[in-house]
Amino acid sequence: MRSLRSNPARTAERYAELERYMSANVTSGPGGFCCVSGDACRASALVSPDVAFYEGQLSHVGEHYDMTDDGHDLRVLVLGMETGRDRSNVTMDQRRAEQQTVAPQDPRSRKPHMKGTASALRLAFGGVPGADVAGDLLAVQNHDEAVHVYDAYALANVRLCSAVIRGTTKSKGTLEMTRRCSPHLEATVRILEPTLVISQSARTREAIAPALSNVEQVDEHLEWVTLAGVRLLLASLVHPYQQGRNAHMGWGGSFSTPYLDDVVAPTILHARVLLLEDGDEQDEVFGGPPSAPPPPVSDAAIESTTPAVPPEATGRSGSRRREAAGRIKDALTSARNSRALDQARTLGAHAARAAAARAPEVVDALLTAWIDGQHPDDDATSRRGESTGPSRPAGPWTVAGKAFTDRSTANRALARALGSYTDDEWIAAQRQHGLR
């Protein structure tokens, strides 16, 4: 169950700070392009009369960008390479107005880029892709009206200028443009402090690679990185619109495609679990006293919340899913609080979608991540003053020859390394690696 809150006042502060930076370093409005690299970038791109150069295309920041879910920061930045549009000196206000124009449209009528972006945002905020208008709307607890997903995220590009073949959106951007625009992207990230960045191009991940540090791979498409001093999760996906030999990878033309179901959904859901784990800890983002301890729950509620595994789920995948369901039930029984119950219900829906997307390894990763956050000997239990037994060893932890500084990530790596295991084998392996 989602528990979303927004902080538009903090977003307004970020918006103003980013606007000040852009006015001083990129563009101060129509006709006011002032980037010191502008001439060099233009010269690197205009090597042919067929190429057009459009400057100063700024970012979108939604009014409700500063979101939390159950007290955990959930600031989502979608990152592309360039807009590719034939307009110059596009302000942040104009970009926001464009998003507000697209938002009321029938989801089925949107162009593939924005259709795919909406699907990614729905997943990031705990929903599912779909053609229903209601699915684009977020119930925000401290806001009377529903908030559209387009008003709850930021959209930026690696390059704030576009070089394209005239009359098309086909990019002719250069490495020089990318390199010289990197300080502007880093300033954007430093100001916005996203917790999840969704990259919409393989070239985007390559372009920002020199600026990344402390890279820790989570799975094929997800990694922890530090960018501009901000620790965040980076989901590296292809652009929603694909054609030609890559048409099968397109995920913006429909609300259920192989790439959307098999890659996008499991990746973003995995990121969501990582960002929202440790559910017993409530961040005091908006001030006021901490929330009261949640009430206990009944055996019947625990039984009904435990994820069901269909009889037709057989083989190793089915075995692991049944074992994971048993572990969730055990963890719920130990935790016995309503917040854990709500998280388990949400997780069960996520795991079901990952299973439907034929990603059993993601199902296991989701369950492992959640259990690690809810385990009765976690730090949240210690803070409540309850008896926890011996404390767990501190990191870093080495699994399969790779060092991890995050316990949950190390646990998931261990689960992947083991492949299949009993409860006793799991506990023994955790102790062997210093994780228990």
The DSSP call for residue 145 is S
Q: Is residue 281 part of a domain?
A: no
What pLDDT shows up at residue 289? 34
Residue ending a domain, choose from 230, 246, 276 = 276
Q: Does 415 map to a domain?
A: yes
Clarify whether residues 318 and 245 are in a common domain: no
Q: 210 and 252: one domain?
A: yes
Cβ-Cβ contacts under 8 Å for 295 (sequence gap 6 or more): 337, 338
User: What CA–CA distance (Å, rounded) separates 186 from 213?
Assistant: 13
Report residue 276 as tokens: 């929202």
* Residue 427: predicted pLDDT: 73
CA distance 432 to 426: 10
256 within domain boundaries: yes
The reply to whether 45 falls in a domain is: yes
Distance CA 302, CA 298 (A): 6
Residue 285: per-residue pLDDT: 26
In a shared domain, residues 70 and 147: yes
Q: What is the pLDDT along the chain (436 residues), one digit of tens a residue?
A: 468 999 999 999 999 999 999 999 998 766 689 999 999 999 999 998 999 999 999 999 999 999 999 889 999 999 999 999 999 999 999 999 999 999 999 999 999 999 999 999 999 998 889 999 999 999 999 999 999 999 999 999 999 999 999 999 899 999 999 999 999 999 999 999 999 999 998 899 999 999 999 999 988 899 999 999 999 999 999 999 998 888 888 999 999 888 998 889 889 988 988 898 643 333 322 233 334 444 565 777 667 666 666 676 666 656 666 766 676 666 566 555 555 555 555 555 555 555 444 445 555 555 555 554 443 333 333 323 333 334 456 778 888 888 887 766 677 677 667 765 555 676 788 788 888 7
Do 260 and 327 lie in a common domain?
no
- Which domain, by its residues, includes 415? 392-436
429 plus 375 within the same structural domain: no
**Helices (H), ranges, 384-422:** 407-418
First to last CA, the chain: 30
* Residue 113: C-alpha distances to residues 78, 80, 252, 265, 343 (Å): 11, 10, 6, 16, 31
Query: 179 with 111, same domain?
Result: yes
Last residue of a domain, one of 339, 362, 382: 382
Count of the separate structural domains present in the chain: 3
Say whether both 303 and 195 belong to one domain. no
Are residues 343 and 427 both part of a single domain? no
Q: Is residue 283 assigned to a domain?
A: no
Q: Are residues 300 and 229 in the same domain?
A: no
CATH of the domain at 120: 3.40.470.10
Cα–Cα distance list, 325 to 319, 367, 432 (Å)? 10, 8, 24
Measured CA to CA, the distance from residue 135 to residue 107 in angstroms comes to 10
For β-strands 76-80 and 212-219, DSSP reports them as unpaired
Residue 183, both tokens: 């300080």
The answer to the question of residue 290 being in a domain is: no
Q: What is the C-alpha to C-alpha distance for residues 408 and 387, in angstroms, rounded to an integer? A: 22
**Are 60 and 190 in a shared domain?**
yes
| Domain end among 276, 310, 326 | 276
Confidence at residue 358, expressed as pLDDT on a 0 to 100 scale: 45
Pair (142, 228) in one structural domain: yes
In a domain? residue 194 = yes
Q: What is the pLDDT of residue 374?
A: 42
CA atoms of 321 and 354, how far apart (whole Å): 12
Question: pTM of the prediction?
Answer: 0.68
What is residue 240's predicted lDDT score, i.e. its pLDDT?
94
Question: Are 56 and 137 contained in the same domain?
Answer: yes
